Copies of this chain bind each other. A is one copy, B any other.
């Protein structure tokens, strides 16, 4: 099982890497912009969001080529958010996954524009895809703009920034991560399942699932920042403590955070069962996310 999910992830990652490369490669745009977009798209992401989207599609549908544009689009939105997050005015990171961040490899202006370009292009990919009908495009674009925009991911980023200055409640911390991480995961599972033909009730349950999956993802991030192996993580541990960041272990203690994670996993499992996806790869991915060591 441990091996097979890893093999699955590796295969899907390869598929998505090729897809993303093709999407950018076909653009006829100024070379500097293209290089800057390619640089961050190729910067070693695990492609968890598009993998989740395709996995969700496969619970309900067969030929997942129709889900490819949405998968690419989602990863481009994620990439844009990382480029802007890393900027000096935001997290001011020089490295991400062991490579120079976009504004360090190029310059700040180019990084801002590469982020803007990736965000805008993500909408174009869905709007222009020839496999999707107009209604499918509308549903996907509604969902993408909601989950990534001022009511979704961007709201999470603003709230996260403000939370750096002062301690927050567990409820507030959950809200931040639900918006900053959970909303794009919602796009992933909802868009995939919708294109695969899931029912309205199944889509509702998957929306719940995405919420808990985002929290599982984040609580594990916080736990790894305390117990993780720096070599596997590729970044120093203990940085949350130094940065006085609000985390689950800080609010609940390490044991409490681990218990909370278990509770989120139970909720996620129940949501998957309600979505008729209890025995799907989505379950395996949930366990994988919750146990990951990097």
User: Taking beta carbons and an 8 Å cutoff, which residues of A are in contact with B?
Assistant: 27-30, 32-34, 37, 80, 84, 87, 89-90, 103, 107-113, 115-117, 119-121, 123-124, 127-128, 133-135, 137-138, 141-142, 144-146, 148-151, 154-155, 157-159, 161-162
Contacts and interface: CB of A to CB of B under 8 A. Distances in A.
Contacts of A80: 116
Given A115-B116, A123-B145, A134-B135, 13 more contacts: A28-B151, A29-B150, A30-B159, A32-B162, A84-B112, A87-B112, A90-B109, A113-B157, A120-B148, A127-B142, A127-B145, A134-B134, A138-B138
Nearest to A141: B127
Contact of A141 (B32, B103, B137): B137
A294 to B, nearest CB: 28
A151 B32 contact: no
Contact of A151 (B27, B146, B155, B158): B27
Contacts of A112: 84, 87, 89-90, 112
